[in-house]
Amino acid sequence: MAKQVIIIGGGVAGMSAASALTEMGFSVCLIEKENQTGGHVRQWDRLFPDRRESQEVISFLEGKMKDVEVLLHSSVTAIRRNGTFTVTLDNQHELHGDAILLATGYQLFDAFKKEEYGYGIYDHVMTSAELEEMFRLGIKPMFHDRPPRRVAFIHCVGSRDEKSGNMYCSKACCVTGVKQAIETKEMFPDAEIFNFYMDLRMFDRHFEEMYFEAQRDWGINFIRGRVSECAENTDGSIVVKVEDTLTARPLKITVDLVVLLVGMVAPPETNKLVEMLGLSTGDDRFILPSDEHIMANNTATEGVFLAGAVKGPACIVNSIADGQAAAVQISAYLNSQH
């Protein structure tokens, strides 16, 4: 009888691991709290750096999961171990597995916590996730009934921010800001686009090239500065107050739309799983692997593995690869059991 693997989390990391494990001959059950798999990638329109449609990636992964048992609208309420793992779901259904993979990913930083930016207070302040959803649905972000003349993207909202309690970089925000700035300029050719950043961390393949494209071909303005406050004018436009950290001078720029590039934080369910399985988290509240260099998919709890952004911020490409790597580690572990 094939050994059983339970995967908690149906984003791209969990999907990638699930398909790899079934190809290796294991029986896999994937648990997803939402009504469909795909996680945050479903909320994306086009992916960086080549602006490929996100649905292409999801469809590819779904096509390789034909032999995976998928339980949607399901949450884990308890896990106990007596030789094998017993996982209890919110409908009291019990699953039994020889190994568990945690792929619960991340959630977006709550922009309401940055009151100085006016999110939820001013009509023309939105998050990068909300803008991406508008792109996906074909909705143009208008200023009242006209195209915006100026748009500001504010980087590192909830990341690299001691006040927010998140000292880490969320990795994907910088390149998201560049991608969305280009798409906004495509949509509104006459608009001026500003990116206010601490440091631009274009760490992966073709990211730097896209940054140069944004400046060279689209005229996107990049200003190295820390935004202190956004204030609303009587007409609904937004005054962005920023210190230009290159010139050490304060700036005020009036824009029609502000986009907050929100970072990644550990979701609440991570803490519950940590307690159930005796795991540890780092200062960033993401789950720690047993060795961050050479055993990045393993945990200190035997038979429990990790994949994707459950360990910390990760982009889509790395999450998919990490799911495949976790499958290899799980296979080695199960094949060593007698």
Report pLDDT digits (tens) over 102-119: 999 999 999 999 999 999
- 118-150 confidence digits (pLDDT tens): 999 999 999 999 999 999 999 999 999 999 999
Query: Which comes out higher in pLDDT, residue 267 or 83?
Result: 267
Query: Which comes out higher in pLDDT, residue 82 or 17?
Result: 17
245 pLDDT band (50/70/90 cuts)? confident
CA distances from 212 to 188, 194, 205 (A): 20, 14, 13
Edge-to-edge, what's the strand order for the sheet holding 249-255? 125-127, 257-262, 150-157, 192-197, 221-232, 238-244, 249-255
Average pLDDT for 295-302? 96
Q: Which residues contact 210 (CB under 8 A, 6 or more apart)?
A: 48, 49, 175, 178, 179, 182, 202
Tell me the HSE value of 146 on the side-chain side, using a 13 A CA sphere. Answer: 9
247 pLDDT band (50/70/90 cuts)? confident
338 pLDDT band (50/70/90 cuts)? low
Average pLDDT for 321-338? 95
The residue assigned the tokens 């998140």 is 166
pLDDT for the residue numbered 1: 77
Whether residue 269 is predicted with pLDDT greater than 70 in this model: the reply is yes
Q: What percent of the chain has pLDDT over 70?
A: 100
| CA-based R_g, the chain, Å | 22
DSSP 72: -
